[in-house]
Amino acid sequence: KATNNENEETITHEQLILSLRNVLTSTGKFAPYCIPMLLEKLDSDIPSARVAAMDLFIHCINEYDARDMSSYLVPLWNLLSKQALCAENQEMEIYALHAITALMQLIGKTAQNDETEISTKKFVDRAIRECDKFLKEFDLKLVWPATKVLQAVARANSTCSSLIWSIILPLLIRQFENLEQTKHKRIILDMITYFVQPTGKIFTFAGILYIPFIYPLLDIRTIIKLPTDVGDKLWIVISTNFESFPSHCLSLTSNLLQINAMPGQALEDNLTKFILHENINDELKIKLASVLRIIASSAVFDRLCTILLTNLINSWTASKTVPSNLTLECCIDLCYNSERCQERLERFFFPSQLFIRLLPNLFKYLSHSYILTNLFTPLFDLLLSSVAHDNYTKTFCSKCGSIANESCKAFVQNFYETNLFENSIWQSDKQSNLLIGIYFLGNLKRKVFENELELIFNKINGKLIEKILDQSSNEMISIYCYFYGNLINKLSSINEILEQIQSMLKSCETSLDEKHIRLWTIIVKALILYRPSFIEQYIPTLITWMQEKNEIGDIACQSLKTLTNFDEQILLLSSEADCIVHPMVKQLIFMNIFSQMKPLLANNELLPSQINILVDLLSTVPNTIIQDEIVLLFPILIRALTSSNESVWPSSLNSICDLIKSDPNTVVDHIDTLFSRLTTLATLTTLATYKKDMSIRITSLKCLKYLTKLPIHHIQPFRRHIMHVLKRCVDDHKRLVRKQAVEAQMSWCLLNV
Instruction: Residue 704: name the closest of 683, 720, 688 by CA.
Output: 688
| 696 burial level (CB within 10 Å; 0-12, 13-18, 19+) | buried
pLDDT of residue 156 exceeding 60, the answer is yes
pLDDT category, 630, cuts 50, 70, 90?
Answer: low
Mean predicted confidence (pLDDT) in 10-36: 77
CA distance 405 to 137: 61
Supply φ then ψ for residue 88, to 5 degrees. -85, -10
What is the band of 587 on the pLDDT scale with cuts at 50, 70, 90?
confident
Burial class (CB in 10 A: 0-12, 13-18, 19+), 583: exposed
Confidence grade of residue 573 (pLDDT, cut at 50, 70, 90): low
Cβ neighbours of 12 (radius 10 Å) = 9
Q: How far apart are the first and last CA of the chain?
A: 35
**Residue 461 identity (one-letter amino acid):** N
Q: What is the pLDDT of residue 488?
A: 93
Instruction: Please check whether residue 439 is in contact with residue 387, taking contact to mean a CB–CB distance below 8 angstroms.
Output: yes
Res 286: pLDDT: 93
- 6: pLDDT strictly greater than 50: no
pLDDT at 602: 62
Phi, psi of 204, rounded to the nearest 5 degrees? -130, 150
pLDDT of residue 753: 53
363-564 topology per CATH: Leucine-rich Repeat Variant (1.25.10)
| Alpha carbons 637 and 648: distance in angstroms, whole number | 9
Taking only the tens place, the pLDDT of each residue in 456-515 is 999 999 999 999 998 888 888 889 998 999 999 999 989 999 999 999 999 999 888 889
Q: At CB < 8 A and 24+ separation, what contacts does 698-701 make?
A: 698/736, 698/737, 698/740, 699/650, 699/653, 699/654, 699/657, 700/653, 701/726, 701/729, 701/737, 701/740, 701/741, 701/743, 701/744
Place 284 in a pLDDT band, splitting at 50, 70 and 90.
Answer: very high
pLDDT per residue as tens digits for the range 408-434: 999 999 999 998 888 888 888 889 999
Helix axes of 514-530 and 551-564: crossing angle, nearest 10 degrees? 20
CB 587 within 8 A of CB 621: yes
- In this prediction, residue 117 carries a pLDDT of 63
Q: What are the residues whose beta carbons fall under 8 Å from the beta carbon of 135, sequence distance 6 or more?
A: 143, 146, 147, 168, 171, 172, 175, 191
pLDDT band for 628, please (50, 70, 90 cuts): low
User: Exposure of 182 by Cβ count < 10 A (0-12 exposed, 13-18 middle, 19+ buried)?
Assistant: exposed
Asked whether residue 203 carries a pLDDT value surpassing 60, the answer given is no
Does residue 20 register a pLDDT over 80? no
The pLDDT, as a whole number, for residue 3 is: 45
> In whole angstroms, what is the distance from residue 477 CA to residue 519 CA?
9
Separation between Cα atoms, residue 707 and residue 162, nearest integer Å: 63
Compute the residue count for the chain.
Answer: 753
Cα gap 681→696, rounded to integer Å: 13
Give the span between the Cα atoms of 20 and 17, in whole angstroms: 5
State the Cα angle at 527 between 525 and 529, rounded to 5°. Answer: 70
User: Mean pLDDT: which of 64-78, 138-152, 734-748 is highest?
Assistant: 734-748
Looking at residue 341, its pLDDT comes to 94
Q: Who has greater pLDDT, 316 or 663? A: 316
Arithmetic mean of pLDDT, 138-147:
82
Distances (CA, A) of 643 to 217, 597, 616: 56, 20, 14
3-class state of residue 87 by DSSP:
coil
User: Which of 561, 580, 579 minimizes the C-alpha distance to 521?
Assistant: 561
Q: Is the per-residue pLDDT at 206 higher than 60?
A: no
682 pLDDT band, cuts 50/70/90, is very low
CB 142 within 8 A of CB 134: yes
Confidence band (pLDDT; 50, 70, 90) for 329? very high
Fold entry, domain 1-224? Leucine-rich Repeat Variant (1.25.10)
Q: How confident is the model at residue 342 (pLDDT cuts 50, 70, 90)?
A: very high
Give the Cα separation of 114 and 208 in Å (integer). Answer: 39
Contacts 24+ apart (CB under 8 A), 605-609: 606/636, 606/639, 607/546, 607/547, 607/549, 607/553, 608/643, 608/645, 609/546, 609/553, 609/554, 609/557
Mean pLDDT of the chain: 83
Q: Which residues pair with 694 in a beta bridge?
A: none
Given a cut of 60, is residue 219 above it in pLDDT? no
The domain over range 622-749 is classified in CATH as 1.25.40: yes
Q: Of 90-104, 357-371, 582-596, which one has max mean pLDDT?
A: 357-371
> How confident is residue 549, by pLDDT bands cut at 50, 70 and 90?
confident
Give the span between the Cα atoms of 623 and 33, in whole angstroms.
53
Identify the CA nearest to 327 among candidates 277, 371, 363. 277
Express each pLDDT in 40-99 by its tens digit: 888 888 888 898 889 888 888 788 888 878 888 889 889 999 989 888 888 889 999 999
pLDDT at residue 304 in the model: 93
Give the pLDDT confidence score for residue 7 in this predicted structure. Answer: 52
Lowest mean pLDDT among 126-135, 383-392, 435-444: 126-135
Contact by Cβ (8 Å): 639, 674: no
- The reported pLDDT for the residue numbered 652 is 79
pLDDT, mean of residues 404-409: 94
Residues 25, 60: contact at Cβ < 8 Å? yes
pLDDT at 726 over 60: yes
Average pLDDT over every residue of 285-294: 94
